[in-house]
Amino acid sequence: MKINNLVLTFAMVAVVFAATAQTNPEFARQVGHEGTVLLKNRDNALPLAKGAKVALFGINQIDYIKGGGGSGDVYVAYERNLLYGMQEKEKAGKISLVPELITFYRDAFKQGSRCINEPKISAELMRQARQKANVAIITIGRYSLEGSDRSAEKADYYLSDSEQKLVEQITAAGFEEVIINLNVGGMVDTQWFKDNSKINATLLSWQGGMEAGNIVADILTGDAYPSGKLSDTFAKSYDVYPASASFKESPYFVNYQEDIYVGYRYFETIPGAAEKVNYEFGFGLSYTDFAISNISAKEVNDSIFIQATVKNNGSRKGKEVIQVYFSAPQGKLGKPARELAAFQKTRELSAGEEQIITMGFPVADMSSYDDFDKIFPASFVLEKGNYKFYVGNSVRNTIKAKFEYKVKTDRAVFQLSHQVTPKDLKKRLLANGSYENVPSIPTAENFELSQAQKAQSDKFLTLKDVYRNRSLMPYFLAQLSDEELFILSRGRANNAYSNTGGMGYLPHRDIPNIITADGPAGLRIGRMNYKGEPIATAFPCGTQQACTWNPALIEEVGKREGEECIAMGVGIWLAPGMNIHRDPLCGRNFEYYSEDPLLTGKTAAALSRGVQSKKVAITLKHFCCNNKEEKRNESDSRVSERAVREIYLRGFEIGVKEGGAWSIMTSYNLLNGIETSENYSLITNILRKEWGFNGAVMTDWNNNSHHAREARAGNDIKMPSSSSKTLKEGLNDGSLTRAELERNVEYLLNMFMKNHLFENTIK
């Protein structure tokens, strides 16, 4: 879908956060507060009363999880677990803890107890704890990592037997309040506490990075307040998620039969699904109460503007997120009952304070893609009828605006051509819960070959010459030998501290090694400070960042990350992870943002603006439909073109158009039978031609794909390395042209020239 470059200047609300004077870990702590979601708080059990006597249960208080594993890990100088955070509060005289429990868990940890396997609490220890404490806090942790998926079993999505037992023991012990802390990277079961009258409060604190324990302790004690909202739907059980039947059907393919009905688009639309939700998308409580009123909506110049007043009616300060959903007429294409159109977090509002919020979005954002050519072939269509708007603080808790936007006759807002069409997907879900067959519609291939540069120059040119006079680019490219083009078309070994390598590095052509490093929760890099400690900051995981619903805050995260990249000699940050939370079990969901593409795209675009303001490239990854880890190099994602465009590409499109991303990483998986990195339709037709992307396209690391086919498709560089052999063969047998290689290298060089690592060499 096309996104207008709508400048909502009057809608911009100055978001106040006292960020600049903070160190990065202190700032990460603030991000954590904003991304923590309060799921339950009966009788205002939280925040704890001053002087509360707390019994802290669960091995996770020591074995605390700062983030997930794999390339998304961050090497840090220290990690604050929950016990540490709570002991700091005890030192400050805010609470007291039960020393016998601390000793017990420390000993258990020393003896090898880790998350999932709770050490057994004796009746005597429980009696002592109850005697000394009025509040019990149980903390539960879950870890997952790249390369494998989670399971819908006990000890992963569900509680383990020992955790279940611990919960039963505690809820039977007669504490005045029982509070749950969830230190998880993805969706987990919520059924066990939702309606349990013996459990008073639940905090979804995610994996909060190196300051995780402090973040939770701040919130529990009221030194900070939670203002996060769910970026996913939390359902009553795993098996009611629409993708659950197909997620593990085969290691070699995934049928995306639920189509566009992912997350709340499914639960709010499909008959009978609504009652299967425990906590809806966008939901999150606060320590205070907000009221939303004076809702008005209007259309101006093909954009919808919504205004609302938010008032803090409670007695504590807090922040609220105002969310706008639209509902399009069902028409011939069928539509989700609700779709997120815009959102805005308030500034911090004191008790009694109010704020007027204005938000806007283009009418075209409400169109749907006609992939089966029912109305206007291969077009985004606004079907005739009334478009309705709902404003509130979750997908369900909304008020309908009086204004409705009327479309008199069906209108094609963007006419495109068929790309990435499915070959093996047989059926897909419709809004009424039935399925329709997927017809075979071919992709418009249209390879276009440009001419190789013939421009001659007598002077031996370097990239510095091109930087000073951009019109020399064709001459420069023409001068590069085939071998130089091959070298630039593949990654390079490190000459810095990261372990992901670099690109470029032709010293005689003044091309430095542009070093990459992983993300997205921070920089994965081995560089030490003078004390021999790693110096990267581990921020809250991607999902927690999305749960802030605060792009201005995330832009500041980006600036901080950009500065760390500069300090560590990194030119390209391999973040953000933008794959959609199609299913709760994807092992990398902690890196990714949401089930919703708009929230995903806005968060990524904000991060992108922040990082790139420091002349460091961002990398939108993994492009696209890498929503599962098992056999990710071989798995074919079979998806309708509509779902690809409306759900799986939309976030990337926002990242490109609103975030101005300088680079993008293709994924390991196949999309409708074709490797994404070899996919001309995806990379050249959609990304480059439809969206106007002029940054660089890189592969994911050590993928299975064929380098010459990738180069032809427009995947500019193979990471982290490759030989010249395949490219040479391609040139020899005509399956690749020199013009294609020059085109790819030009994109890379243009990206290098914006980079601080290159600009440093100019000074």
Least distance (Å) between residue 579 CB and ligand BGC:
10
Pick 579 or 612: Cβ nearer ligand BGC: 579
Q: Are residues 576 and 520 in contact, defined by beta-carbon separation less than 8 angstroms?
A: yes
Tell me: does residue 492 bind ligand BGC (CB under 6 A). no
Least distance (Å) between residue 143 CB and ligand BGC:
18
Least distance (Å) between residue 307 CB and ligand BGC:
40
Identify residues 30-89 at the interface with ligand BGC (CB under 6 A): 71
Question: How far is the C-alpha of 422 from the C-alpha of 535, rounded, in Å?
Answer: 46
From the list 398, 500, 600, 637, which residue makes contact with ligand BGC (rule: CB under 6 A)? 500
Least distance (Å) between residue 570 CB and ligand BGC:
12
Tell me: does residue 509 bind ligand BGC (CB under 6 A). no
Whose CA is closest to 118, among 27, 681, 126? 126
Residue 671 bridge partners (DSSP): 637, 674
Q: Which pair of tokens denotes residue 644?
A: 């690809």
Q: Is 393 helix (H, G, I), strand (E, B) or coil?
A: coil
Main-chain dihedrals φ then ψ at residue 182, nearest 5 degrees:
-105, 110
Least distance (Å) between residue 619 CB and ligand BGC:
7
- Edge-to-edge, what's the strand order for the sheet holding 379-382? 368-369, 379-382, 411-415
* DSSP conformation class of 648: I
700 is catalytic: yes
From the list 33, 621, 706, 718, which residue makes contact with ligand BGC (rule: CB under 6 A)? 621
Question: How far is the C-alpha of 270 from the C-alpha of 112, rounded, in Å?
Answer: 46
End-to-end CA, the chain? 41
Pick 422 or 720: Cβ nearer ligand BGC: 720
Binding pattern for the stretch 365-404 against ligand BGC, x by CB under 6 A and - elsewhere: ----------------------------------------
- Transcribe 307-346 into DSSP letters: EEEEEE-SSS-B--EEEEEEE---TTT---S-EEEEEEE-
Tell me: does residue 747 bind ligand BGC (CB under 6 A). no
Pick 187 or 523: Cβ nearer ligand BGC: 523
Identify residues 679-708 at the interface with ligand BGC (CB under 6 A): 700-701
Least distance (Å) between residue 621 CB and ligand BGC:
5
- What burial class does residue 358 get, using C-beta atoms within 10 Å of its C-beta: 0-12 exposed, 13-18 middle, 19+ buried? middle
Q: Which pair of tokens denotes residue 475?
A: 């001459």
Which uninterrupted H or E stretch holds 415? strand 411-415
Residue 338 bridge partners (DSSP): none
Pick 71 or 676: Cβ nearer ligand BGC: 71
Main-chain dihedrals φ then ψ at residue 649, nearest 5 degrees:
-100, -20
Pick 640 or 663: Cβ nearer ligand BGC: 663
Single out the catalytic residue among 156, 636, 700, 716.
700
Tell me: does residue 574 bind ligand BGC (CB under 6 A). yes
* DSSP conformation class of 434: -
Least distance (Å) between residue 629 CB and ligand BGC:
9
Pick 518 or 653: Cβ nearer ligand BGC: 518
Q: Is 33 helix (H, G, I), strand (E, B) or coil?
A: helix
Binding pattern for the stretch 452-491 against ligand BGC, x by CB under 6 A and - elsewhere: ----------------------------------------
Least distance (Å) between residue 108 CB and ligand BGC:
34
* DSSP conformation class of 118: P
Q: Is the peptide bond before 586 cis (omega within 30 degrees of 0)?
A: no
Pick 137 or 620: Cβ nearer ligand BGC: 620
Pick 113 or 500: Cβ nearer ligand BGC: 500
Q: Is the peptide bond before 226 cis (omega within 30 degrees of 0)?
A: no
Question: How far is the C-alpha of 428 from the C-alpha of 437, rounded, in Å?
Answer: 7
Residues near ligand BGC (CB under 6 A), total: 7
Question: How far is the C-alpha of 136 from the C-alpha of 761, rounded, in Å?
Answer: 58
Binding-site ranges for ligand BGC (CB under 6 A): 71, 500, 518, 574, 621, 700-701
- Residues marked active site are found at 700
